């Protein structure tokens, strides 16, 4: 028996068959074509499900369930996608629509929750009873896993780590609040803070790498320059790490998971980021003598979307 996982992104729909151990057996993908009516997207998803099963040498009778990770929020009971901004979806009956083509249980969850679940079944947090994943990308996503199940809260509001307030009355956020974690711990934050340094101090290597145009700055340049010891980039990186350590400490003080997993583009900084965070975390922790949650870099990369979506079925 196997599971099908669907990673519904703004650019591609990636679909795979996944075994009980969370290993991908086959993979297919089609462009999302996000501007089309949702019915057409779902028809493509259904075809991909069949193709992924066939490619793995399976029929639909070998498949236990289909899971979908979406860049938005869905209601567990009904399978209705409440909100999926990138696709322009509001109140889309995704489960019901997919089941017109595929007679299998369909589970839907947020892509950050799905990534956290993938890591807990087949990645760095395997065998942890509880874990919290932060995806440090354009924004900051969050996923909570308790006893092998994703936790989205009682009203689907949970895991929104990016929109916990870090700095009251701080940088305005797209969500309407100010000072959200996302504004200080994302790739976008690294770029914003890097640009400020470029404007303030002309000598930064960051400016050299962008050919003198701060608009071309990206998170990788900031991190690379910090690794190489550029003073401005180091200042930005140290601020970033301090904000991230504060955000992690708030999660630990409240929830104290067994492991904190860092994913998303910024986590590509690997050990450089991890060591800096680990060095700072103990400073914020109460009960200095108690162990601190282990912090680790996610290891499944892009495959987390398919694996985690598939494991939604296993987690039920």
Q: What are the residues binding a second copy (CB under 8 A)?
A: 73, 82-83, 128-130, 142, 144, 146, 151-161, 163-168, 175-177, 246, 249-258, 284-287, 289-293
**The two three-digit tokens of residue 40, written as one number:** 């057409």
Looking up tokens 């994302």 gives 186
Task: Report, in Å, the least distance between residue 134 CB and a second copy.
Answer: 11
Looking up tokens 């066939």 gives 54
Task: Report, in Å, the least distance between residue 132 CB and a second copy.
Answer: 9
DSSP annotation string for 266-287: GGGGTHHHHHHHHHHHHHH-SS
Looking up tokens 């874990």 gives 131
Do residues 132 and 144 touch, judged by C-beta distance below 8 A? yes
Question: Which one, 3 or 184, has the nearer CB to a second copy?
Answer: 184
Question: Which one, 12 or 83, has the nearer CB to a second copy?
Answer: 83
Question: Which one, 124 or 207, has the nearer CB to a second copy?
Answer: 124
Report which of 71, 66, 249 is spatially closest to residue 143, judged by C-alpha positions. Answer: 71
Task: Report, in Å, the least distance between residue 24 CB and a second copy.
Answer: 29
Task: Report, in Å, the least distance between residue 51 CB and a second copy.
Answer: 34
Task: Report, in Å, the least distance between residue 127 CB and a second copy.
Answer: 12
Question: Which one, 16 or 264, has the nearer CB to a second copy?
Answer: 264
3-state secondary structure 179-232: CEHHHCCCHHHHHHHHHHHHHHCCCCHHHHHCCCCHHHCCHHHHHHHHHCCCHH
Looking up tokens 């000072």 gives 179
Question: Which one, 191 or 281, has the nearer CB to a second copy?
Answer: 281
Do residues 5 and 311 touch, judged by C-beta distance below 8 A? yes
Task: Report, in Å, the least distance between residue 58 CB and a second copy.
Answer: 35
Question: Which one, 201 or 254, has the nearer CB to a second copy?
Answer: 254
């Amino acid at each position: 028996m196997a599971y099908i996982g669907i990673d519904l992104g703004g650019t591609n729909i990636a679909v795979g068959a996944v075994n009980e151990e969370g290993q991908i057996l086959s993979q297919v993908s089609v462009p999302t074509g996000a501007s089309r009516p949702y019915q057409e997207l779902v028809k493509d998803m259904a075809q991909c499900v069949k193709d992924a099963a066939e490619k793995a040498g399976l029929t639909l009778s070998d498949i236990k369930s289909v899971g979908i990770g979406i860049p938005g929020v869905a209601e567990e009971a009904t399978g209705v996608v409440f909100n999926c901004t990138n696709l322009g979806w509001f109140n889309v009956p995704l489960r019901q629509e997919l089941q017109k083509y595929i007679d299998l249980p369909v589970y839907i969850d947020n892509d950050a929750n799905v990534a956290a679940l993938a890591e807990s079944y087949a990645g760095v947090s395997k065998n942890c009873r509880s874990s919290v994943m932060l995806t440090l990308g354009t924004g900051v996503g969050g996923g909570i896993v308790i006893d092998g199940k994703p936790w989205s809260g009682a009203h689907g509001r949970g895991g929104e780590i990016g929109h916990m307030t870090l700095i009251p009355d701080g940088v305005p956020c797209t969500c309407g609040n100010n000072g959200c974690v996302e504004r200080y711990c994302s790739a976008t934050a690294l770029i914003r803070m890097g640009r400020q340094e470029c404007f303030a101090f002309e000598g930064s290597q960051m400016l050299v790498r962008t050919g003198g145009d701060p608009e071309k700055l990206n998170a990788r340049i900031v991190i690379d320059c910090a690794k190489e010891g550029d003073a401005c980039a180091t200042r930005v990186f140290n601020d970033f790490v301090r904000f991230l350590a504060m955000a992690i400490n708030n999660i630990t003080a409240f929830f104290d998971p067994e492991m904190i997993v860092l994913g998303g583009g910024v986590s590509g900084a690997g050990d450089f980021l991890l060591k800096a965070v680990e060095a700072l975390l103990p400073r914020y922790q109460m009960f200095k003598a108690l162990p601190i949650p282990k912090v680790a870099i996610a290891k499944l990369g892009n495959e987390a979307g398919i694996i985690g979506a598939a494991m939604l079925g296993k987690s039920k």
